[in-house]
Structure 1
């Protein structure tokens, strides 16, 4: 996994078993996050501005880079058996309304380096079927974490999945780390540790109201966000103020939007994972605004749940079982996705 916030490459080695009653169980065996070298961080962050030729070259180069990191992970952890490598790639463009999404990291290069079966390009088929291509993790939330009313991931964006009227629904809620990291870096920090920078700032009520009323929040049903939306709609508003105040304002915005969803669906308990789960300032604000029990699990699950589920999606793909839910993405049908090599 490589998130939109470009905070590192997550590798998760997992085992999955299915009981005679068709219940899936999982075990996380080994995990590692490899920080990107500055060169790769710059390439990924600037990929949105690449020419077509540069993007094709980056797709190939990044595929070989991913393959090398998988080999390194296998070697360092003395892993003996790998049935499949599932790669989400790195999202550059995501415009499902125009029927396209682009994740770089050519799976063929991963296969060439590792000589292990690879599943990649999990999103394109869903977009072609009229879906958002996101969020994809609800299939894992439904089958691996059925004891929670909902699962909230707080990475570059916050997204949630929950059971509603007999179906698993899911959608992106709002930006989180993609905005917070951007402004933290202006203060020479990689991220806003514990939300301390946001805590020191002042909320701009007028801009907060503008953020809360952006057109995206009026859309119902499956919906997803991309970096392009943040650059167009969010940064111009927050750039008007002092950096600490921008962080304070977007934290308030994220907390309000997340709590709004908790209240609307009357959620009793929510499993919260992703880097935003460590932002104590943001978590406390969410708890202030809702009666929902916000559950933050073991750090390994916080950091690697999304990678775990993409591994699970890879397993479902090699078994030719459904791994994307149309009720979550808005596609025309449930389907089994991913290019298998």
Structure 2
């Protein structure tokens, strides 16, 4: 689709939303998220209310870990030829449908308005007009027999945006009591209100790097950051990581696994140091980059979510570098905030309302993104 066509479509969606019947205020949806850290597929069954102000309740939630086979398939997908990648897209769509059906059956979920799925990001190079999430084929809706809202990033890239981050609209609508919302997943990303606009961007890689090195020693992750805590700090490596050009860029800006593979891992691996030393140095690097993104005011509340929250060593390093008030919510919000917000993005799309903010992604306009597939 040409950029002009995307622009006109986005304008049409905004006009359409004005005339859309907005009497319906309560929605039941399943949100589905697969992150770059390859921990697994997060699923949330939520009820979202648009009466007075937007509210939510998480009714059921579950993470389905990836098998070693699927983790290998997804981690190497970026290197596949087009025909192979197309087949993987088909295979992953069917796999995803099986996971979602099992979740719905397990919790006896009915009367769903939609399944809202992020898919799994394989390629993300917005400067080149490229972003690809597999698992977003019409076959997903056919297999489920339920309307599906998916493929949220493509339109934004066509409108000149980064296609990421998408979660900040949910931060604004559902978690506005916090000055900062930070997710510590495959990447650390942050969102905040600044001059009456939502600003958000990726800070740095987190679990994509930690888990990469843990898997080299046969472990999935560094539990509580114990191995990182035991290591020595490599000041030279720390300085080189902190000097990466990405950190000097102004938002909007976003990261993909391509940048980790091309810019971060080669720096670390050339030092030929032990894993504990790598983990400690990288944890300090992450803490420093996050602290640099905050104002340091003790009255500033910071909501921390994502799997990185359970790395207690990382959190200690972060708290030692910032006076902000860090708040860790209950485990369900920690683990499933992104899946919850993708459910919200899908419902906003069904309502014809804005679900992507140009102030966040750099797109030409705010818009209502995603594709709707009917069974």
Q: Quick one: distance in 2 between partners of 1:110 and 1:70?
A: 10
The alpha carbon displacement at 1:207 in A equals 1.2
The alpha carbon displacement at 1:112 in A equals 1.4
The alpha carbon displacement at 1:108 in A equals 1.0
RMSD after superposition: 1.1
TM-score if structure 2 supplies the norm length? 0.89
Deviations 1:73-121 (A, max 9, x none): 0111111221101110100110011111011113312111101000111
Can you give the 5+ residue segments of structure 2 that lack an aligned partner in the other structure? 1-32
Deviations 1:19-67 (A, max 9, x none): 2x3x101000100101112221111111111111110000111111111
Q: Quick one: distance in 2 between partners of 1:13 and 1:133?
A: 25
The alpha carbon displacement at 1:265 in A equals 8.4
The alpha carbon displacement at 1:263 in A equals 2.7
Greater C-alpha radius of gyration: 2
Equivalent in the alignment of 1:97: 127
The alpha carbon displacement at 1:264 in A equals 6.9
CA contact (8 A) 1:222 1:330 kept: yes
CA contact (8 A) 2:198 2:360 kept: yes
The alpha carbon displacement at 1:328 in A equals 0.8
Q: Quick one: distance in 1 between partners of 2:67 and 2:35?
A: 15
Q: Quick one: distance in 2 between partners of 1:164 and 1:31?
A: 32
Equivalent in the alignment of 2:217: 187
**How many correspondences in the alignment?**
339
Equivalent in the alignment of 1:201: 231
Q: Quick one: distance in 1 between partners of 2:235 and 2:147?
A: 52
CA distance 1:231–1:267, change in 2 (3 Å):
farther
CA contact (8 A) 2:296 2:324 kept: no
TM-score if structure 1 supplies the norm length? 0.97
1:202-217 to structure 2, matched below 5 A, reads: 202-217=232-247
Equivalent in the alignment of 1:317: 349
Q: Quick one: distance in 2 between partners of 1:4 and 1:265?
A: 31
Equivalent in the alignment of 2:92: 62
The alpha carbon displacement at 1:212 in A equals 0.5
Equivalent in the alignment of 1:246: 278
Aligned to 2:240, the other structure's residue is in SS state helix
Aligned to 2:341, the other structure's residue is in SS state helix
CA contact (8 A) 1:87 1:107 kept: no
Equivalent in the alignment of 1:135: 165
CA contact (8 A) 1:158 1:175 kept: yes
Q: Quick one: distance in 2 between partners of 1:101 and 1:265?
A: 36
Aligned to 2:34, the other structure's residue is in SS state coil
Equivalent in the alignment of 1:167: 197
Aligned to 1:33, the other structure's residue is in SS state strand
Equivalent in the alignment of 1:148: 178
Deviations 1:283-313 (A, max 9, x none): 0110000000110000000000000000000
CA distance 1:335–1:121, change in 2 (3 Å):
same
1:290-301 to structure 2, matched below 5 A, reads: 290-301=322-333
Does residue 122 of structure 1 match 2:120?
A: no
Aligned to 2:293, the other structure's residue is in SS state helix
The alpha carbon displacement at 1:236 in A equals 1.1
Q: Quick one: distance in 1 between partners of 2:171 and 2:179?
A: 10
CA contact (8 A) 1:149 1:267 kept: no
Does residue 33 of structure 1 match 2:69?
A: no
Equivalent in the alignment of 2:48: 16
Aligned to 1:263, the other structure's residue is in SS state coil
